[in-house]
A and B are shown apart, each in its own frame.
Chain A
Amino acid sequence: MTVVGKNIPHESAATHVAGRSTFIDDVPPRSDEVFLEIFGSPVAHGRLKSLDLDAARAVKGAVGIFTAKDVPGHNHFGPIIQDEHLLAAEETTFVGDPLVLIAAATREAAVRARLLVRAEMEPLPAIFSVDQAIAAGSFIGPERVIETGNVKAALAAAEHTLTGTLDINGQEHFYLESQAAIAYPGEGGEMLVLSSTQHPTEVQSIVAEVLGVPFNHVTVQCRRMGGGFGGKETQAAGPAAMAALVAAKLKRPARIVLDRDTDMALTGKRHPFTAFYTVGFSSTGRISALQLDLFSNGGCTADLSPSVLERAMLHSDNAYFLPNARITGRVCKTNLPSNTAFRGFGGPQGVAAKENILEEIAIFLKRDALDIRLANLYGIGERDITPYGQKVENNVLPQLISDLRDSAAYDRRRSEINAFNAQSTSHLRGLALTPVKFGISFTKKTLNQANALVNVYTDGSALVTTGATEMGQGVYTRIRQLVADDLGIPYERVRIGPTATDKNCNTSPTAASSGTDLNGAAALDATGRIKSRLAAFAAPLLNASAENLRFADDFVFDPAALDKRIAFLDLVCRAYLERIDLGERGFYITPGVDFDRDTGKGTPFLYYTNGAAVAEVLIDRFTGELAVPRVDLLMDAGIPLNPGIDRGQIIGGFIQGMGWVTTEEVVFDAKGVLLSHSPTTYKIPNISDVPEIFNVRFFNNPDSAKSLKRSKALGEPPLLLSIAVWAAVKNALAYAAAGAIPPLSLPATGEQILMRLSHLRQTAARRAIPESAPAR
């Protein structure tokens, strides 16, 4: 009985549904534990004049109050540039920037003390938007360029050109479990930290640096997260380090669990982007040249912004060949919380910028946007080199799109929508098909490594640990499946332990959709070597040669001599008695990937995950209200490792993306205070937003030979399919725009739709006499 390729329930499902899975704040408190609250800067950019902590100190139950001067080691860190502080010493750079940590014996006392802290700040000039940053020349890092061909010449020679701007807003992760950690001080400067983190190794190094102790004194463990989505890749480290700091100072366990409003106000989000573009194309809609300048809003520090920008640039071709392109990118520095990784990591913004251009070309040429998309798709054996020089191989998109076009009845529905929009005065419908080609691998080469520890015990059970963290995506389940099949033992006999830095060192974050690809391969490296030793030991017992032995169905045997076989349990017991090592550490590096960000050239990706979506939208012309009555998704998952979990990634990613492009709007006021700071004011998709008709299929692609067991990474790519919903809104508005290109930023909220419609109506009324074609 093998389990790879089967729909095995999530390994924690049974305890999840019973309420028996333990998250950080479910760990019973120790009697001497303290609870932390953060007092943050009341202004977006300011200089600390004075702090009044007396009233807070006097609160009954308050145990300790800490500021930057209490940090024994470094107060500065950051994954790319060391420009972040744990606690602001003098200058604060966003509203909520932590200034003071309050530790108290109870949550209530900690909150009461926090409310009594007073800070006197001298406000400094602050900027918040991409436009303001460009005007002020406020950037993080250098401009990046990816270039191919000669854009200037090609634009000059183009039959048509279009120029425009697209504003893309951010997105709050809204993981259900907020940032949380508990730190337990040990003897001799040791520190054990339970953290809800996608990157235990980074938490370990930051905790060690803040405390001024060697890395080997700090153990960081994560059993699971209540959601991550990129928000706990770098930004789990701050709270964890705060807990560790207080635990070290007080020599008592310290717990920090951000309340929802604080979490949303303090942590970074998906980067807002502004895209400026000029595109040249022929009357058939084929693009000859693209000049695209991307500006991301990085917030107050670098965090991962340069890498996010890079992935946005690497995805702004999406699935389309660009013979001439110049793609530039800059990270803007503003006084907002530092924006960070979020599922897709810049890819969605790059793809949205490109799909917007295709919609606009279609409107301009009065053609169906699908025709324009097909005319520009990467070819097979020709027109297949990306602007950064990687060849697009195993390109299934032409076939995949054709399959989806049929199954979603795209053409029939297009005619229906044409007829509907011509006669309805109350509603508008729109339709779009958008593809995705998402590059798999970290674009930072170093991170494409993983290690795993596999222990086989003498009762025939196995324990695996890797650097992969479980945030709901099912990486633990998949790795258990892989190890069980490779050792040929039942799935139930394999356990996967909490991810911890004392078992797996120097690990990469669980990110870039790579969790299973990297860590699963490392685990198989370990099991492979255990099997080699066991096979060598078993060969004489079975009178077979070691290389012919198979591990399956809980036995070891030579398929050519099935009458002689040895039970796995029997074999490991005998091997142990003969002093054969049953544990192994495995290691894996992704072969062949490399990218030079200075030249903008290379082969950053091992392979691409492809898919496409058809989305239909319905808009109420009176109110702007948007509904998504039907969506069809077709996803190339290679050969799925676990179709149930893979399907969950596709649907979950799509709906999360649908929130980004429709109802989720991050709103700051003019002073940089987050107004959308809780689910009352920030609206992620609800169960009633799931499309009434929602068809989700896997595309049959057994040829993805480069990937693990010919499966494909699915963590992020499906999110980008949601851009079809946004494109369908743009398409719907085009019907009301009398031939003009309707502007639309992202997200397409009901408010924006109504205001755009009202404006189009007024413009149309003005244009009514004389009727004139758009002169561009």
Chain B
Amino acid sequence: MRHFDEQIQEIRQKLVRMGGLAETMIASALRMLIERDDRYYREVTEREEQVNGLQIEIDDMAVRVTALQQPVGSDVRFLFMAARITSELERIGDQAINICQNAQHLLKAPPLKPFVDIPIMAEIAKRMVRDSLDALIRKDVSIAERVLTEEDKVDAFRDQVFRELLTYMMADPATIPRALSLILISRNLERVGDHATNIAEEVVYWIQGRDIRHHHEDLAGLESNAT
């Protein structure tokens, strides 16, 4: 394998590791909420440090390889994708921290209601993160496109959580602080889904050169030549 390909491979492996960490941060944050155990918070913050470190490492490698190897074609698309994906994964980590902070408020009071939608929502959001990285590992556009279709499901759950908690708040104002924390958590999970969608869009760009950001429905071909 050429030295250049080894560097690309190393970046890919680091991205996958970073993605795995981000996904487990979401899982741990949810366990903190559901198991009402704030020991998970420490796990999440420790992983956040690793995620932040990987972001800097990958971005630095992407800049270095771009400057020194002058990549073209799918290689240059890969490096730009990598640098943009690290931001998305870092923000997924931030959402996990936010979930933990909201969970901390909830742990101080008795449970408002049994969890139904939020765990399902969390599963979908985690799966979206996993699939978006799986698309990267397998270089498979169909997996990335599946992630794009999941975004609507997460949004629908967020709206459902809000509607349900609104009825609690209207019935008993004492529930407002807890209900708001849960609404914020659903919002955090929805954002995780958005970041996973962005990653999937980047993967499509890398593989096919199509920029589908802001217009998933536009699957038109590439720009025609200049003549």
Query: Real complex partners, A and B?
Result: no
Interface positions of A (Cβ within 8 A of B): none
Interface positions of B (Cβ within 8 A of A): none
